[in-house]
Chains A and B, each alone.
Chain A
Amino acid sequence: MKNTKRLALSAVLLSLALALSYLERLMPLQLILPLPGFKLGLANIVTLVALFHMGAKSAFLIVFLRCLLASVFGGGITAFLFSVTGGMLSVCIMAVSAKAPVFSVYGVSILGAAAHNTGQILAASVLMNTVRIFGYLPYLLAISVITGLLTATAASGVLKILMISAPGGKIKPSNS
């Protein structure tokens, strides 16, 4: 990918990630399931697209900037520490697991969602100086399987279209 195109695409993906994480804050999900930290992880769709379409470096950058900018626009330093620990752990796990041929986008997404929740609970336990908060983790992990599948479905759709529209592309998605 050319540098200019890379820059433009990164910028678009970053703003999309910011918009999605803002949208997610408006969803009253806690009313359905009152579990602290429970969310769909819509911004993870963007991370997956960046990771599979542009590579690990771009994905890292987009996640870091998303966390930074999201807390600048509203949230503050505590929110930043939470999201950056979760985000960085998640993108690390996803970048590694994307290299493993066993996993498709779906497996990578589930592992990423689980890592995100684990990272946030870790950050919370350090900030609050307690281990009791780990009591929420089993539920968050179980739900991350479902949210991971959902975000992977969305990301897979986006990636398919990106591959068809790529110049010199029309690469068919492999079955295995």
Chain B
Amino acid sequence: MKKAPRLRFQKGDWLAVLSVLALSALVFLMCLPGKQASEASSVRLIVNGKPHAEFSLSENRQYRFEGSYPLTVNIRDGEVWVTDSACPGADCAHTGKISSPASSIICLPNKLEIVISGESAVDLTVR
């Protein structure tokens, strides 16, 4: 006779619960945003892995992004958020406001990332 499948929650299943939670905690720690934004922080828009635009975080402004799903990027008092997203999910708008370096707003339909970087987009200047 075929071995009956195990259909009830058993002790070993806690191993699955714990390992998934441990992995979650590990990834969370690895993704922790860095220190507070400084004056030099900038807001970068990256489309498909390539830089698209860059603004200063300390300068209040609105930017209309014209992609396959247009959206508006708002920068005010060191905070960045998205409004008026034309895509059905509008995850980017639901993300809310971001303000610290290494945090980001991601819009999958547009392949767009809005990132706060600690300093200017120039990583290294060669003279």
B1-27 interface code vs A (CB 8 A; 1 in, 0 out): 111111111101101110111011101
B94 at the A interface (CB under 8 A): yes
Q: Do the beta carbons of B6 and A104 come within 8 Å of each other? A: yes
**Chain B contact patch, size range:** 35 or more
Query: In this assembly, does A142 line the interface, its C-beta being within 8 Å of a C-beta of chain B?
Result: yes
Q: List 11 A-B contacts (CB under 8 A).
A: A30-B91, A34-B95, A36-B108, A105-B6, A107-B16, A130-B49, A133-B106, A135-B31, A139-B24, A171-B1, A176-B10
Nearest B residue to A97 via CB reads B16
Query: What is the interface of chain A, defined by CB distance below 8 A to chain B?
Result: 30, 34-36, 52-53, 97, 100-108, 110-111, 114, 124, 127-130, 132-139, 141-142, 144-145, 148, 156, 159-160, 163, 171-176
Q: Which residues of A contact B30 (CB under 8 A)?
A: 134
Q: Is the CB of B6 within 8 A of A174?
A: yes
Q: Which 8 pairs, one residue from A and one from B, show the smallest C-beta to C-beta distance?
A: A129-B49, A102-B12, A34-B94, A107-B13, A138-B28, A141-B24, A107-B16, A104-B6
B4 and A163 contacting across the interface, CB-CB below 8 Å: yes
**Is B12 within 8 A of A107, CB to CB?**
yes
CB distance from A47 to the nearest CB of B (A): 14
Distance in angstroms from B4 CB to nearest chain A CB is 5
Known: A36-B108, A138-B27. A130 touches B6 (CB 8 A): no
Q: Of A52, A100, A124, which one neighbours B5 at CB under 8 angstroms?
A: A52
Contact pick for A175, options B1, B8, B13, B49, CB 8 Å: B8
Q: Is B60 an interface residue (CB 8 A)?
A: no
Q: Which residues of B contact A (CB under 8 A)?
A: 1-10, 12-13, 15-17, 19-21, 23-25, 27-28, 30-31, 46, 48-49, 89, 91, 94-95, 102-104, 106, 108, 111, 113, 115
Q: Which residues of A contact B12 (CB under 8 A)?
A: 100-104, 107
- Chain B residues near A133 (CB, 8 Å)? 106
Contact B6 A134 (CB under 8 A): no
Q: What residues on A are CB-neighbors of B94 within 8 Å?
A: 30, 34
For the complex, give the distance between the alpha carbons of A66 and B1 in Å: 31
The answer to whether A103 touches B31 (Cβ under 8 A) is: no
Contact A173 B113 (CB under 8 A): no
Nearest CB in chain B to that of A136: its residue: B106
With a CB–CB cut-off of 8 A, which chain A residues contact B113? 128, 130, 132
